[in-house]
Amino acid sequence: MIYLLLSIVFNAVLFVIIKLFARFNIDALQALVVNYFVAFLVGLFFLDNSLAPKEIISHDWFKGSILLGFVFISTFYATTLTSQRNGLSVASVASKMSVIIPITLGVILYNESLGFIKIIGILLALIAVYFTSKKETGEVQNANNLLFPVLVFLGAGTIDASLKYLQTYHVPANQIGLFSSVTFFCAFSVGILTILFLTIRGKIKFSGRNILGGIALGLPNYFSLYYLVKMLEAKAFQSATLFTIHNISIVLVSTFVGILFFKEKISLRNAFGIGLALFALYLVTY
C-alpha cells in the first residue's frame, strides 16, 4: 500500500510542476529532455545493479524500455501542452481516463476476473473523473484542442499497459531500478535528438530557466515510475483495481491542489464528481 501512496503523491507533484511551466515561461520540450536526464542520474544514484551496456541490451525488457522512452516523452509533451491550453484538470482527466486501456488488457491477457460490484465501481470512477475535472467553461470543446487530450489518453494508456506487461513477464524485482533508469535514458535520447533537429532548423532558443524546470521535474518523475512498477510488483490488488485506485486518486489530489494553490474554483458538478469518486474507490476495494 505504501508504494501506491508514494506513486500517487509523486504523480500529483508532476502535474503541479507542469502547471507551473506556463507561469514561469518554461519551454516544455527543453525542460522535459533535461528532466529525463536528471531522472536517469537519480536512478544511477540509487542503483544497486551494475550498468554494463552489453548486459543491459541482453535483458528481455530492453526493447520495451526503448518503446517506452519514445512514448514517455511524447505523452509528457502532449500532457504539458494540454495543461497549458486546456487546463490542469483536462490534462489530468485525459491521462487518468486512460485507465480503461490497462483494465481491458488485464482481463484479456491476465485472465483477471471483475465482479459486478467492481465493474460498477470502475464505471463510476470514469464518470467521477469526468465530473471532477469538468469546468463550466473552457476551450476543450474546440475540435482543434481535442487532439492533445486524445494523444494524452492513448499515450498514458499505452504506458500503463506496457508497464504492467513488462513487470509481469520481463522485469525481475531486483531490476526495477535499472529498468526505470534505462527507460528514462531512452526518453532522454529521443528528446535530445528532437532538440538537435529543431536547433538545426533554428526553432529552439535555449534558456537557463528551462534547465531549472527540468531539474525540478526530474526527481519526482523518477520516483513516480519507480513506485508505480513497485506497486505492480507487490500485487496487492488485481491490475484493474489497482489502476482504478491509482488514477482516480491522482485526479482527486490534483483537483484539491488546483483549488488550494492555483485558486481553481470548484463547482457543484465538481463536488458531485469528488463524492462519486470516493464512492467508486469504496466499491473497487470492496
The pTM (predicted TM-score) of the whole model is 0.84
- Within 10 Å of residue 5's Cβ, how many Cβ atoms? 13
Neighbouring residues of 17: CB distance < 8 A, sequence distance ≥ 6: 213, 216, 217, 220
Long-range CB pairs of 196-204 (<8 Å, 24+ gap) are: 198/29, 204/27, 204/30
Spatial separation of the C-alpha atoms in residues 114 and 105, rounded to whole Å: 12
Give me the pLDDT at residue 53, please: 82
Give me the pLDDT at residue 268, please: 87
Give me the pLDDT at residue 136, please: 55
Neighbouring residues of 24: CB distance < 8 A, sequence distance ≥ 6: 209, 213
pLDDT tens readout for residues 24-55: 888 888 999 999 999 999 999 888 766 778 88
Cα 40 to its chain centre, rounded Å, is: 17
78 and 152 Cβ atoms separated by less than 8 Å: yes
Give me the pLDDT at residue 192, please: 94
Spatial separation of the C-alpha atoms in residues 241 and 113, rounded to whole Å: 10
Give me the pLDDT at residue 99, please: 85
- Max CA distance (Å), the chain: 57
155 and 148 Cβ atoms separated by less than 8 Å: no
Give me the pLDDT at residue 18, please: 79
Spatial separation of the C-alpha atoms in residues 82 and 147, rounded to whole Å: 9
User: Given the C-alpha cell 470548484, which residue does it identify?
Assistant: 266
CA angle, 158 then 44 then 46, to 5°: 95
SS3 content of the chain, % helix, strand, coil (to 5): 80, 0, 20
User: Given the C-alpha cell 467492481, which residue does it identify?
Assistant: 118
Give me the pLDDT at residue 139, please: 45
H helices within 24-61, ranges in order? 28-45, 53-58
Give me the pLDDT at residue 42, please: 93
For the chain, which ranges sit under pLDDT 70? 49-50, 88-89, 133-145, 286
Spatial separation of the C-alpha atoms in residues 171 and 164, rounded to whole Å: 10
Ranges of each domain in the chain: 2-115+139-235
